[in-house]
Every structure is written in structure tokens, then in C-alpha cells.
């Protein structure tokens, strides 16, 4: 399976899933009209890629803003990553935030509680992958 690369739009984040390079990145605002339609194929490809992603793979989320329908999709992505980690994979999950962005800090804490996954908070936003 080759890399998955989706360019950012005004309402959707850029997404890069490159198992060979051991990285996943989601960068940008997430306000799709139909989150299930946008994220469904991403989640399916991630499910297929995770067993083949090596230890040391990084998963980076840099979402300055996301809507409530995106919250469920992000949750489902994190659950899949957590399942792989529970099966023995050694991954790093990084949640990028702007300085003093209480909303995104709280969102990260909520995902930690909901998924039981460890997130590394990193200050500073990323450019699109």
C-alpha cells in the first residue's frame, strides 16, 4: 500500500499517511460537511496500514479548529492507533497546539481520557504535510 496524501481545503485538513516513512499527519481546520464521508476512507486505510507501521512511527495532529462531527472521526482515528499500541507497537502521538489555546489543550485531555492514549503536547503549529 502506497502513501495516502490528501490536500487541505478550506474546510478539511491535509492528511498524510506514509507507512514507509513511519508517519501520519493531519494538519489544518476540520469542518467537513460530512465527516463520515471525508474521514471514512482515511480510517479504513489507516486500519490497513497500522499493522505494517514500524515502531517509532509518529502520528501528528495539528488542528487549530475542528467541529463536533470531526471530533468523532478524530476519536476513531486515535482508537485505531491505541489498538495498535496495545498490540505492542511503539508509536508517538503528538498533539500540536498554539500557545495559550485552552480549547485544544482541553480537547487533547478529553481524547486522553476517552481513548486511554498518551498524547505528547507540543506548542507550535505545523505547515501542511
- Whole-angstrom distance, CA of residue 56 vs CA of residue 71: 26
pTM of the complete model = 0.93
With beta carbons less than 8 A apart as the criterion, state whether 110 and 77 touch: no
Q: Per residue in 93-114, pLDDT tens? A: 999 998 888 888 899 999 999 9
Q: Per residue in 25-61, pLDDT tens? A: 999 999 999 999 999 999 999 999 999 999 999 999 9
- Whole-angstrom distance, CA of residue 32 vs CA of residue 23: 23
With beta carbons less than 8 A apart as the criterion, state whether 112 and 121 touch: no
Amino acid at each position: 500500500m502506497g502513501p495516502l496524501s490528501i490536500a487541505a481545503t478550506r474546510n478539511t485538513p491535509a492528511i498524510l499517511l506514509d507507512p514507509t516513512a513511519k508517519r501520519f499527519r493531519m494538519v489544518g481546520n476540520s469542518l467537513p460537511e460530512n465527516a463520515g464521508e471525508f474521514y471514512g476512507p482515511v480510517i479504513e486505510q489507516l486500519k490497513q496500514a497500522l499493522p505494517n507501521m514500524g515502531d517509532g512511527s509518529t502520528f501528528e495532529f495539528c488542528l487549530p479548529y475542528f467541529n463536533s462531527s470531526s471530533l468523532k472521526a478524530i476519536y476513531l482515528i486515535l482508537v485505531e492507533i491505541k489498538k495498535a499500541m496495545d498490540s505492542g507497537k511503539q508509536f508517538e502521538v503528538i498533539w500540536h497546539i498554539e500557545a495559550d489555546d485552552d480549547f485544544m489543550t482541553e480537547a487533547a485531555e478529553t481524547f486522553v481520557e476517552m481513548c486511554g492514549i498518551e498524547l505528547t503536547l507540543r506548542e507550535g503549529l505545523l505547515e501542511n504535510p
